[in-house]
Amino acid sequence: MSSSDPVSTDATEQVDALRAAIRHHDERYYVLHDPEISDTEFDQLLRRLTELEAAHPELVTPDSPTQRVAGRPVDGFATVEHPQPMLSLDNAYEEAGLTAFDERVGKGLDVDPGTPVAYVAELKIDGLSIALHYRDGSLVRGVTRGDGVRGEDVTSNVRAIRGIPLVLKTAVPGDVEVRGEIFLPRASFDRMNAERAEAGAPPFANPRNAAAGTMRTLDPALVARRGLGALLYHLVEQNESDPRGDPERPAGHSAVLEQLAAWGLPVEGHWQRCEGMTQVIAFCREWAGRRRALPFDTDGVVIKLDNLADRARLGQTAKFPRWAIAFKFPAEQATTRLLRIDVNVGRTGAVTPYAVLEPVQLAGTTVQLATLHNAEDIARKDVRAGDIVLVEKGGDIIPKVVKPMLGRRPTGDAAPVPFVMPTVCPECRTPLERAEDAVVWRCPNDVCPAKIRRGLLHFAARRAMNIEGLGEALVNQLVDRELVRDVADLYGLRAETLERLERMGSKSATNLIAEIEGSKRRDFAHVLFGLGVRHVGEGAAELLARRFGGLRGLLGASLEELAAVVGVGPIVAASVRTFLDDPANRRLLDRLAVAGVRMETDRVAPVAEVEQSLSGRTFVLTGTLASMSRAEAKRAIEARGGKVTGSLSRKTSCVVVGVDPGSKLDKARSLGVETIDEQAFRNLIMADDG
């Protein structure tokens, strides 16, 4: 189409205007955290642009906001050399380390002792370093740190991070490299781990590991979904040893940070220019206490000389620049008295001990409860009620008891006694049971009130039946008064009954009844998830609902048919079959159906069955796989009819070798068993994924 074509001109203008608007709102949202329009309005802009581009494919450009995830998973990452090595930082763990650094800097620059040097103090973001290359203002490449000299080209994943602009706001000619950190905000981390737990995948230990794991995946769409963020803090000088060579460039680091922000790049806003080390130390002290208020994890403060020419004069050692240092925050630990050890009964009957503590301030919150894992762990650490214990924000999520302070253990009559795991359920007094090789004790009673309460809360949860207003206080009353014994009883409740409960007016009672009524229309995928069948998370429930269409199809499915659903596997399949074969559960399902709860799904798209391409073959997994967890790899093999075992023998068909494989690799070689790397393994399981 010629540019004089009126339609084309019109479309070009519209496309340009939409792109400018989307970029603007992306910056407001992801960089400045101050959106001007609602998510719905934003989605409308993006949709209009997508439609226009579909109608005028000739107008699509690589830096259009629609092209962040261009739908092409990559085969692997190429390694590329950094134009200048990506250095690490020297650390200081005490304030004395900062003073010593200040003295070294002063000496190196030959300033009079006592004359304050100007520094910039920035929060140290706990993520993974990234180098972004822009050419004439367009993002052309993203590279991980790697070994500092060579990193991996992760451009496709970097493009999927919404906070990273594909084009800079102001014209920046030529090649520019900016460096910074990619991280996972704590809220995204919590959401992601909740999803993993439901899918039966092991949780990530902390946001940093999760961010690193995400960047290693070969699927940009997944990166986009996980909600990674980026913060930039370094502009690579074309000629680092002589920054004065470019008259346009700022002379100080503080001006660089302002420059980066003016380009539309995300910059952490709490940095501070400090005149001398005393101000730096005050900044470090302040943030050691305030760090929890941030939406991301920070593990310290980075202190950098402000003047860029002075930086060049100081230079660097083999590993670190001499002009910067990282101050690491002290570990967040506290001591307090362990008042007692209680046990909690979960939805599946798992009985787990936890610590009740004398309230203590830790990481910005008051801590009164902490995890103790299981009875064996308590015995191993010799933690006793009455001890003074050391508590820590473990993995930075839930506090855990690290150890008892044995030197402070009371003696004589007040001496604490070892913990004894109860032998009966604290709720219903049923003797606890545990599988032979398990550490978890369970209450086997199906009508245990604690299990019922948890089961009801799970059923009512937003991602299950979404019954708003059915919270803990109400569930407790309903169960205690025996008004509800299972999820089907909810559908027999009447407003008059609810009104008699505490803190229940007639309005809330009517609303709750309407909510319960409304939940009957939920899709069967939600119903199945809400039933709380062991091992059936939201994902598996959805897959099963899609494949079998609803309850009737599910009831008719054999164990093999269940296990053949991609992403389901034998453990989930067995659990579903056991659940469905239990007459009590069948009665429950009947009652739900009679009450009018939907037992079909709208999510019709049938999932193709996977060819049993690995049937009869036994696999051993060793080392860490970059693109998937061990559980995912296992599921993928089992879904294709293969078996996974932990022990390697001549009968093993194949060993999948990840990073840091350990002794199994040597053993496989000596036994002559086939070994394949991650890529070959992916090919094996991708072949039939279409």
Known catalytic residues are 124
- Residue 283 C-beta: closest distance to ligand IVH, Å: 13
Residue 588 backbone dihedrals phi, psi, to 5 degrees:
-60, -45
Residues 485 and 489: their CA atoms lie apart, in Å, by 6
Query: Which residue in the set 89, 363, 397, 495 belongs to the binding site for ligand IVH (CB under 6 A)?
Result: 89
Q: Is 554 in the site for ligand IVH (CB under 6 A)?
A: no
- Residue 270 C-beta: closest distance to ligand IVH, Å: 10
The Cβ of residue 382 has, within 10 Å, a number of other Cβ atoms equal to 14
Between helix 449-460 and helix 472-480 the angle, nearest 10°, is: 140
Interacting span for ligand IVH (CB under 6 A) from 2-10, 81-89, 306-314, 658-666: 81-89
**503 beta partners:** none
Q: Is 144 in the site for ligand IVH (CB under 6 A)?
A: no
Q: Is 129 in the site for ligand IVH (CB under 6 A)?
A: yes
Which run of H or of E encompasses 550?
Answer: none
Query: Which residue in the set 321, 532, 537, 569 belongs to the binding site for ligand IVH (CB under 6 A)?
Result: 321
User: 314: which residues sit within 8 A by CB, 6+ positions away?
Assistant: 105, 108, 109, 305, 321, 322, 323
Under DSSP, is residue 274 helix (H, G, I), strand (E, B) or coil?
strand
Question: What is the token pair recorded at 615?
Answer: 């049937």
Query: Which residue in the set 19, 25, 68, 124 belongs to the binding site for ligand IVH (CB under 6 A)?
Result: 124
Residues 188 and 214: their CA atoms lie apart, in Å, by 12
Nearer Cβ to ligand IVH, position 85 or 386?
85
- Residue 302 C-beta: closest distance to ligand IVH, Å: 4
Question: What is the token pair recorded at 105?
Answer: 């800097």
Nearer Cβ to ligand IVH, position 90 or 190?
90
Q: Kindly report the length of the chain.
A: 690
Closest CA to 53 of 69, 70, 66, 68: 66
- Residue 175 C-beta: closest distance to ligand IVH, Å: 19
DSSP 282-341: HHHHHHHHHGGGSSS-EEEEEEEESBHHHHHHH-B-SSSBTTEEEEEPPP-EEEEEEEEE
Q: Which of residues 556-615 bind ligand IVH (CB under 6 A)?
A: none
Interacting span for ligand IVH (CB under 6 A) from 2-10, 205-213, 319-327, 662-670: 319-327
Residues 14 and 118: their CA atoms lie apart, in Å, by 48
Residues 611 and 629: their CA atoms lie apart, in Å, by 22
Contact 8, 2 (CB under 8 A): yes
Burial (Cβ within 10 Å: 0-12, 13-18, ≥19) of residue 481: exposed
In the numeric block, the tokens 């590279």 are attached to 143
Nearer Cβ to ligand IVH, position 18 or 231?
231
Q: Is 333 in the site for ligand IVH (CB under 6 A)?
A: no
Q: State which residue has the least CB distance to ligand IVH.
A: 129
Residue 266 backbone dihedrals phi, psi, to 5 degrees:
-75, 125
Interacting span for ligand IVH (CB under 6 A) from 86-94, 259-267, 489-497, 628-636: 86-94
Nearer Cβ to ligand IVH, position 88 or 506?
88
Q: Which of residues 374-393 bind ligand IVH (CB under 6 A)?
A: none
- Residue 184 C-beta: closest distance to ligand IVH, Å: 14
Interacting span for ligand IVH (CB under 6 A) from 118-126, 362-370, 393-401, 677-685: 118-126
Nearer Cβ to ligand IVH, position 274 or 572?
274
Nearer Cβ to ligand IVH, position 68 or 133?
133
Query: Which residue in the set 122, 219, 297, 538 belongs to the binding site for ligand IVH (CB under 6 A)?
Result: 122
In the numeric block, the tokens 């002792």 are attached to 113
Q: Is 119 in the site for ligand IVH (CB under 6 A)?
A: no
* Count of residues in contact with ligand IVH, rule CB under 6 A: 14
- Cα–Cα distances in Å, from 607 out to 196, 443, 555? 21, 36, 18
SS3 for 244-280 is: HHCCCCCCEHHHHHHHHHHCCCCCCCCCEEEECHHHH
- Residue 326 C-beta: closest distance to ligand IVH, Å: 5
Residue 301 backbone dihedrals phi, psi, to 5 degrees:
-125, 140
Q: Is 87 in the site for ligand IVH (CB under 6 A)?
A: yes
Interacting span for ligand IVH (CB under 6 A) from 85-93, 196-204, 344-352, 414-422: 85-93
Closest CA to 236 of 283, 191, 195, 176: 176
- Residue 288 C-beta: closest distance to ligand IVH, Å: 15
Query: Which residue in the set 326, 350, 474, 479 belongs to the binding site for ligand IVH (CB under 6 A)?
Result: 326
Contact mark string toward ligand IVH, 227..256, x via CB under 6 A: ------xx----------------------
Interacting span for ligand IVH (CB under 6 A) from 9-17, 123-131, 150-158, 467-475: 123-131
Interacting span for ligand IVH (CB under 6 A) from 119-127, 330-338, 438-446, 490-498: 119-127
How many whole angstroms from its chain centre is CA 689?
Answer: 26
Between helix 39-55 and helix 6-26 the angle, nearest 10°, is: 150
Helices (DSSP H) in 160-275: which residue ranges? 186-198, 207-216, 220-226, 253-262
Contact mark string toward ligand IVH, 161..200, x via CB under 6 A: --------------------x-------------------
Binding residues (CB under 6 A) for ligand IVH: these are 87-89, 122, 124-125, 129, 181, 233-234, 302, 321, 324, 326
